[in-house]
Amino acid sequence: MTDNRHDKDPVAFGKQMEDSIRGYLKSALPVSHQYPRLRQEIGRALTEPELLLKGPFVEALPDFVKDVSLEALTHGGDRLLDGEFSKLPQTEYQRPLHRHQAQALEAVVRRRENVIVATGTGSGKTECFLYPILDSLLKDMSLSRPGVRALLVYPLNALANDQLYKRLVPLFVHSFQHRGIKVGRYTGLTRQGLTRAQAEEEVLSSDTSFARELGWKQIPANWLLTREEMLATPPHVLITNYAMLEHLLLLPKNAPLFRNSALHFLVLDEVHSYSGAQASEVALLIRKLRQRLNLRFEDTICIGTSASFAPGESADEDILQFATNLFGVRFSRVIRGKRQEHILLREASDRIFSMTPEAWIALGRAAASLTPGDPDGVQTWNQAISVSNLSGGLRDSLWLDEKTPVERGLARVFALSKEMRHASKTLSEGGAVEFTQLAETIFGSGAPGEAALAGLIAIGIRARSSPGDFPLLPARYHFFTSGIDNITLRLAAGETEGFAEVRLGSQFKHDGQNLYRLLICRKCGQPYVEGFLEGERLHPRPTGTKPVTHRHVFWLGDKGPEVEDEDDDTADSLRTGSTIWEMNPATGEINSIFGPRVKLRVVELRQDAEENRRYVRKCPACGGTAGTGRSGDRVSSR
């Protein structure tokens, strides 16, 4: 779990979240009041430190190393890109590209290489294939002829939709509408039988950004919205998922979609997600596509993207081999991204200043109250400075010019902070750092240091040179939560409730002692334990060493009355005491003549023919059933 909102006190937020999780788990464990010790021990186990939640951790994702701009690549005698790139918004056209984006353009556009773009989250991987596709379409002299030129394949519809709405449509449909570049998404969400007008209404009502940011009152005709449109006039850029692509290639009714195709680009986003049998299926699908369209290897440039591949040269060799096997063409390069600290933090200065933890706490609160674009932000900040206990010289240094946006002013001022530079340097080394450890490194141990670090981060994430730039300290908090998949018990003789120890998680053996899984009736809270009989021993889990294993469920301890099911007129027995086993709790041996022995009352199980497994059909304590439909344990694992 990642959270950027609770920058005021992430430690307190973590404790609050942990308490909420603990409260939920307690409410989801309806242990009968006849077992007070079991309830108490489960509650105690849930308070173990770092059991349910770990964190906060702090991670910084700085900006990437820069290179030339798109504008520079459209000029000069050896220009790389078509001159019509100048129709892009000027901020996009003129800003420096990330170095890995420039490298991708060189590799794909100039050298026509098949590449894997393996850069981090938020690194602009999408532009690494969108810009080459755009350049190819702008240079295409036969663009007036319909036909798929670029095929973008996503593993999930959600990813396809996000890319379509946020990047492809604004780029191809809006900025280059005059060139008639047609875009279409053909997935399960592209419903049949929908008219163009109905599809337009659905899109515009579901996402107001088109009207708000692009000024659309209706969708341009070059965004093909219906299946019928795409089959009649195939788009130049087709977005789909691998499951739908298989469908498109299989059914004859979809053949018109690939009529007149000249497939120049094949892109697989999140390419790491294809593994095992699925990777084999996708590999065969790509070969089928190439055969159907009668493509030569050199006709199509293949690009894969991922933020999840391992780093390092040895990993690159494996990635290239994987991509070559998947796409069926040779891949020669993995393009990586390199991050760097904010440029203001890298500038040398003799005006570095330092602040006390108390000052960071106070100013962090002031920063946390600021909202982006707040016209009164500078006034709010300066008011906090005026009432602070800072020295006169430092107060003057932190005072912001009212003509400068507060975010820019904070970036200029705190780029000279010793503590900000220390935090940035530490976090730029990569990976997440434990919050308390980072606080101790910069401010010293204890609550004041932690509060000071929270204040520093609150300022750092709001300080930026301009609205579209990376913040001075692009930090975020991480919390890691753990679910409780099982509760296990060490059974013991002489214990009224039948157990001696409670453990959370899938721990089935401890100090040589067997631990058996706890089951609880969701209706009355009666606890049971589960075991698997192999030969003369009852194991917590099947061992697989015997040809026959029988699952059994047992009443826990000696508490609780036996009842008859008041809703069952057939007098179906709910008794549990007719069969009693004696077991050595340490070894699981049944009717052992050595060591301690506990008595286990066997609960009747019924066979489920469909799953070939035996279940408790009715709770012997309350007569509760699993309800209608498929049978299953009303007595459930918690």
- Separation of alpha carbons 265 and 151, rounded Å: 6
Q: Give the bridge partners for 268, in sequence order.
A: 153, 304
Instruction: Name the helix (H) or strand (E) containing 326.
Output: helix 313-327
Q: What is the DSSP string of 181-211?
A: --EEE-STTS-TT--HHHHHHHHHHH-THHH
Token pair for 597: 């022995």
Quote the pLDDT of residue 626.
54
May I ask the CATH architecture of the domain 67-336?
3-Layer(aba) Sandwich (3.40)
Lowest mean pLDDT among 45-59, 254-268, 322-336, 412-426: 45-59
- On the question of pLDDT at 294 being above 50, the answer is yes
- Separation of alpha carbons 98 and 124, rounded Å: 8
Quote the pLDDT of residue 631.
30
Quote the pLDDT of residue 559.
64
Instruction: Name the helix (H) or strand (E) containing 128.
Output: helix 125-138
Which amino acid appears at position 625 of this protein?
T
Contact of 181 with 172, CB cutoff 8 Å: yes
The mean of the pLDDT values for the chain is 89
Among candidate residues 584, 629, 620, 586, the one with its CA nearest the CA of residue 602: 620
pLDDT in tens, 198-215: 999 999 998 889 989 999
How do 433-434 and 53-60 pair as beta strands? antiparallel
Instruction: Name the helix (H) or strand (E) containing 477.
Output: strand 475-481
- Cis-peptide into 56, omega within 30 deg: yes
- Separation of alpha carbons 370 and 459, rounded Å: 10
- Separation of alpha carbons 541 and 533, rounded Å: 9
Quote the pLDDT of residue 311.
86
Map tokens 């699993």 to a residue.
626
* pLDDT (mean) for 255-276: 95
Contact of 58 with 454, CB cutoff 8 Å: no
Quote the pLDDT of residue 122.
82
Instruction: Output DSSP code: residue 471.
Output: P
3-class state of residue 510 by DSSP: strand
Q: How confident is the model at residue 570 (pLDDT cuts 50, 70, 90)?
A: very low
Quote the pLDDT of residue 374.
82
* pLDDT (mean) for 84-106: 95
Helix 447-460 and helix 10-27: axis angle, to 10°?
Answer: 100
Contacts of 410 (CB under 8 A, 6+ apart): 367, 381, 400, 459, 462, 463, 472
- On the question of pLDDT at 242 being above 80, the answer is yes
pLDDT in tens, 60-91: 988 899 999 999 999 988 899 999 999 999 99
Q: How confident is the model at residue 578 (pLDDT cuts 50, 70, 90)?
A: low
Q: How confident is the model at residue 137 (pLDDT cuts 50, 70, 90)?
A: very high
Quote the pLDDT of residue 27.
80
pLDDT in tens, 419-455: 999 999 999 887 899 999 999 999 999 999 999 999 9
Helix 357-368 and helix 447-460: axis angle, to 10°?
Answer: 40
pLDDT in tens, 269-281: 999 999 999 999 9
pLDDT in tens, 500-526: 999 998 899 988 899 999 999 988 899
Instruction: Output DSSP code: residue 270.
Output: T
Q: What percent of the chain has pLDDT over 90?
A: 70
pLDDT in tens, 443-491: 999 999 999 999 999 999 999 998 878 899 999 999 998 878 889 999 9
Which amino acid appears at position 455 of this protein?
G
- On the question of pLDDT at 226 being above 70, the answer is yes
* pLDDT (mean) for 339-352: 93
Q: Where in the chain is the domain with CATH 3.40.50.300?
A: 67-336
Quote the pLDDT of residue 8.
63
